[in-house]
A and B are shown apart, each in its own frame.
Chain A
Amino acid sequence: SQTIHQWPATLVQPVGSPLSLECTVEGTSNPNLYWYRQAAGRGLQLLFYSVGIGQISSEVPQNLSASRPQDRQFILSSKKLLLSDSGFYLCAWSVAAGNEKLFFGSGTQLSVL
């Protein structure tokens, strides 16, 4: 069966510090991968998605970037965090076909102080 791992679970970072969140999927090949952010009162916002190694699409211009160095690995990064980057970050995967359901990792609660 497929599983998705995301870490760390919580993170407290000062403004201006870098960020790296990692997500890996097991039990499937060539998944579509996604990074969402959930901020209070704003719902789930799609940040990046990837249909293959090295292929990244950005939905919202921002202080963040994403990379997919391996088929089942997705990384969210920032060079300098802003206060507004605080939120609950969720990695998700779906099968490589349209209209398919998303399965989420356990999430990272990021607080930028």
Chain B
Amino acid sequence: QKEVEQNSGPLSVPEGAIASLNCTYSDRGSQSFFWYRQYSGKSPELIMSIYSNGDKEDGRFTAQLNKASQYVSLLIRDSQPSDSATYLCAVNARGGGADGLTFGKGTHLIIQP
């Protein structure tokens, strides 16, 4: 069974510091990896996608992928109180199929002013 694991948190980080969020997945054939941000009571919003090993940077966000270790991470630099949310890791575990993404349960991030 496809699984995506995240530490549920809460992860508390002081304002201005780097927040590091981690995710592991079980299906070694997975090809696409995504990070979503979800504020309480709102729908998930896509913030990063990554498809190949290494780092991908977009503004204050960096996604890191290591397929050999089946590990994805998200770094948020210069953390702001507005970054406080639940971050969902998602994986397309069947490589090319239309059957959607498998999501982790999310990590609750709190940025302390």
Contacts and interface: CB of A to CB of B under 8 A. Distances in A.
A1 to B, nearest CB: 14
A67 B103 CA distance: 23
Interface residues of A, number: 27
From A96, A101, A106, residue with most partner B Cβ within 10 Å: A101
A34 B100 contact: yes
Interface residues of B, number: 26
Contact of B98 (A44, A49, A92): A49
A57 B99 contact: yes
A107 B101 contact: no
Interface string B91-103: 0100111111111
Interface in B60-91: 88, 90
Interface of B: 31-32, 34, 41-46, 49, 51, 88, 90, 92, 95-106
Interface of A: 32, 34, 36, 41-44, 46, 49, 51, 57, 59, 90, 92, 94, 96, 98-107, 109
